[in-house]
Amino acid sequence: MGKIRSTKRFTFTTEAKNSKGFHVRTKGIELAEYNSNPLLLWMHQRPKGERTDEILPLGNLEDIRDEGNGKMSGVPVFDDTDEFAMKIYNKVENGTIRMASAGLKPLQFVDHNGDKWLERSVLKEVSLVDIGSNSEALAVTLYNDADEVITLSEAFDTTDITPKNKDNMKLLQLSEGTVSLLKLSENANEADAHKAILNLVTLADTQKGEIDKLKQEKADIEKKLEDQLKLSEDAELVALVDKAVEDRKITADQKEDFVKLGLEPAKNILGKMKATPTVTSQLGTAAGGTDNLMKLSYDELDKSGQLITLKEQNIEGFKEKFKSKFGKEYQG
């Protein structure tokens, strides 16, 4: 008990002129609403619960497919708990009933080369029908916003009828402000408006392209400045670490580790470290401190008690004074 799927596939709309004298644009049919509740009716009869003998929905239409040639089709699935639905199922299976029809809510009609086309519509329901006007011109039922069946003339009154190929049509739908903004004359037509809008779009695209180009140029310049700054900082860092090695703050083996720290951290650490003087610089400092003593003679140094100071601080100077005094090398 439940549902039974038909072995037949039904075309329920095509782009051929239908029995009401207009064409339906298959690509313009919106299916989202119908897919949420794909009702299959009989002859577009919608029960309202006012009579006990009303015909209820036959079931659903599944596997809806755009055939790609302007036709749309689906497979009926019947409610096998409904006696009437099963009667229709049997007639479908034995080939007695062969036609289906779309129930559409019109959104936009257009005139094209003298033919009326329903360009945009919403599929409300699909019905199996007994007779169509011909193999393609299927019966079509139209609905309004209240889901009430309406006539073709009523549909024209409530939808957009857009004439095609009439370049002299005045843009009555444009406000004065819009006409002024587009710099159109009072007698401007659709082609004039399209051209004005296209010019604005082209201008906007061009300006956008120029802005994008300037942004890229700015980004390139900033990247170059960043690279140059990095090179400058790298050079300063290497010089800083080389000087630290020269000043004997760090060893040559530690140089790479300080380079990896970066400029500011290396500068901060090395700035707190004291240089270690070399032996040569220490000797030079010591020698420089006895310059005044070297101006005195051996006897003057001995008499003033500074001879031992000279010997301790400048042994070479002491040997010189010793040789001058005694005529021989100091052997101590």
Please state the pTM of the whole predicted model: 0.47
Which residues does the chain have with pLDDT short of 50?
Answer: 133-134, 137, 163-172, 279-281, 283-287
Q: What is the DSSP string of 24-37?
A: E-GGGEE-HHHHTS
**pLDDT the model gives residue 71:** 92
In angstroms, the Cα distances linking 86 to 8, 55, 207, 211 are 15, 12, 66, 68
> Which tens digits make up the pLDDT trace of 224-242?
888 888 888 899 989 998 9
Structure tokens at 249: 């703050």
